[in-house]
A = this chain, B = another copy of it.
Amino acid sequence: MTQEIIPAGKRLALSSGLAGLSGARPLLDRTGTVARLADILRAQITEGGLPPGTQLAEHAVAEALGVSRNTLREAFRLLAHEELVVHEPHRGVFVRTPDAGDVRDIYTTRRLVECAAVRNADSAPSGAVAEIRAVVNAAQAAAAEQRWNDVGTADLRFHSAIVALAGSRRLNDMMRRVLAELRLVFHMMADPHRFHEPYVHRNAEIAALVERGETDAAVGALLAYLDDAERQLLTGIAERSTQSSESIT
């Protein structure tokens, strides 16, 4: 009611000058302790510092990170919602241990989403394909220096860039979560180098096809990629489970 007095001219003059600042806002509004907590824990989990199955006792973690038990619980809720952690009532939270069903589920959603995103490459938002190329280059650089962990992150970022072709924030967020989960599976595998090494070349191939606009071929290559990776992860998990059951008996 009271603001109708602002002259339209002055308002426009200001908005044009401040338009560039709206993008910088996310850097300012630091979300607070619990978001930072979740970041730390998420990083520790996806980086392998906290192997699947590890229990995260509230008292211990709260004291270790110097935060209250209640705030930590809020962070746990977030991670549980992202499925990086499972919350068993009255027992505690544990780093998730994905099983074969999870891997299959993850790869069916990846097949569906990533292939559809590539098919949409024509009407992709500007800069999306450039981002793909950049990530591929980073992966090749990391591979040349034998930094296999970085190769893994580059791989996941590559597929995030693929999904970004669809141009939907919600889709990006969802796949970022799924790929973080997938990283848990990577850490359950033996020989990460062996696993990641062949895919950097295939990623580059897919990127080239997308750049050249041969979307059908790109989709085919991507499908083959996903099938191979799924198969490999499933056999890896199978070996691991048989060996663990042997160790129990």
Contact = CB atoms under 8 A, between A and B. Distances in A.
Copies in the complex: 2
Contacts of A86: 1
A32 B245 CA distance: 33
Contacts of A248: 3-4, 8
Contacts of A169: 105
Contacts of A34: 77
A114 B89 CA distance: 34
Interface string A168-185: 111100100010000000
A108 interface: yes
A168 B112 contact: yes
Contacts of A106: 170
- Max chain B CB contacts within 10 Å: which of A8, A32, A169? A169
A29 B87 CA distance: 11
A13 to B, nearest CB: 16
Contacts of A117: 112
Interface in A79-112: 81-83, 86-87, 89, 99, 101-102, 105-106, 108-109, 112
Main SS class of interface, A:
helix
A31 interface: yes
B174 A99 contact: no
Given A1-B99, A4-B249, A248-B4, A166 B112 contact: yes
Given A245-B8, A248-B4, A249-B4, A168 B74 contact: no
Contacts of A188: none
Contacts of A120: 112
A87 B34 CA distance: 12
A74 B116 CA distance: 35
A2 interface: yes
Given A1-B99, A74-B77, A112-B171, 14 more contacts: A8-B248, A31-B89, A34-B77, A70-B70, A70-B73, A73-B74, A74-B74, A77-B77, A78-B81, A105-B168, A108-B167, A108-B171, A112-B117, A170-B178
Interface of A: 1-4, 8, 29-32, 34, 70, 73-74, 77-78, 81-83, 86-87, 89, 99, 101-102, 105-106, 108-109, 112-113, 115-117, 120, 166-171, 174, 178, 245, 248-249
